Amino acid sequence: MKVYLSNPYGTIPGEDWREYRFFLLAKALASNGHEVVWFTSTFSHHFKKQRYNKSKIIFISNNIKIHLIKSRPYNKNFSFGRILRDFTYGFNLMKILINEYPAPDLFFVGDFPVLFYYPSYWYCRKNRIPYIVDQMDLWPELIVNSFSVKIRPIIEKSCYPIYKIRKKVFDHCFGFISLAKKYLDIPKSISRNIIERPNAVIYNGIDVDEFRLQMSVVDTDIDIKLGNKSVGDIWFIFAGTLGPSYDIKTMLNGFLNLNDKCKLIIVGDGSERTYVENFIKDNGLININYLGKISKNSLPYLYSKCDIGLNTYGVYSNVEMSDKFYDYTAAGLVVLNSLQGEVMDFVEKFGVGYNYQASNLHSFNDKLQLIINSDNLKVMKEKSFELGSSFDQKKQIDKFLQFMDLVERSLLLKY
Both 238 and 375 in a single domain?
A: yes
DSSP 8-class letter at 70: P
Q: What is the pLDDT of residues 41-83, one digit of tens each?
A: 999 887 889 999 999 999 999 999 999 999 988 887 767 777 7
Range from 92-96, 145-149, 378-382, 383-387 carrying the lowest mean pLDDT: 145-149
Cα separation of 267 and 295, whole Å?
10
Q: How many CB atoms lie within 10 A of CB 263?
A: 22
Both 120 and 235 in a single domain?
A: no
Cα separation of 172 and 391, whole Å?
30
Q: What is the pTM of this model?
A: 0.89
Both 53 and 150 in a single domain?
A: yes
CB 245 within 8 A of CB 142: no
- CATH code of 272's domain: 3.40.50.2000
Phi-psi region of 97 (alpha: psi -120 to 50; beta: other; left: phi over 0): alpha
CB 247 within 8 A of CB 361: no
Both 179 and 313 in a single domain?
A: no
Both 268 and 288 in a single domain?
A: yes
Both 89 and 159 in a single domain?
A: yes
Give the CA distances from residue 83 to residues 50, 144, 227, 270, in Å, rounded to whole numbers and listed in that order. Answer: 16, 16, 45, 20
Question: What DSSP element (H or E) covers 94?
Answer: helix 80-100
Assess whether pLDDT exceeds 60 at residue 116. Answer: no
Both 41 and 108 in a single domain?
A: yes
Cα separation of 322 and 141, whole Å?
17
Both 267 and 313 in a single domain?
A: yes
Both 129 and 51 in a single domain?
A: yes
What's the total number of domains in the chain?
A: 2
Both 218 and 310 in a single domain?
A: yes
Q: What percent of the chain has pLDDT over 70?
A: 98
**CA proximity to 333, closest of 297, 374, 382:** 382
What is the per-residue pLDDT for 115?
Answer: 57
DSSP 8-class letter at 95: H
Q: What is the pLDDT of residues 136-157, one digit of tens each?
A: 888 777 778 777 788 888 888 8
Give the range of the structural domain holding residue 152, as residue numbers without chain letter.
2-205+392-414
Both 21 and 149 in a single domain?
A: yes
What is the per-residue pLDDT for 112?
Answer: 58
Q: What is the pLDDT of residues 363-379, one digit of tens each?
A: 999 999 999 999 999 99
Question: What DSSP element (H or E) covers 120?
Answer: helix 118-126
Cα separation of 76 and 48, whole Å?
8
Both 268 and 225 in a single domain?
A: yes
> Strand pairing partners for 308?
236, 334
Q: What is the pLDDT of residues 329-343, one digit of tens each?
A: 999 999 999 999 899
Distance of CA 336 to the CA centre of its chain: 18
CB 67 within 8 A of CB 40: yes
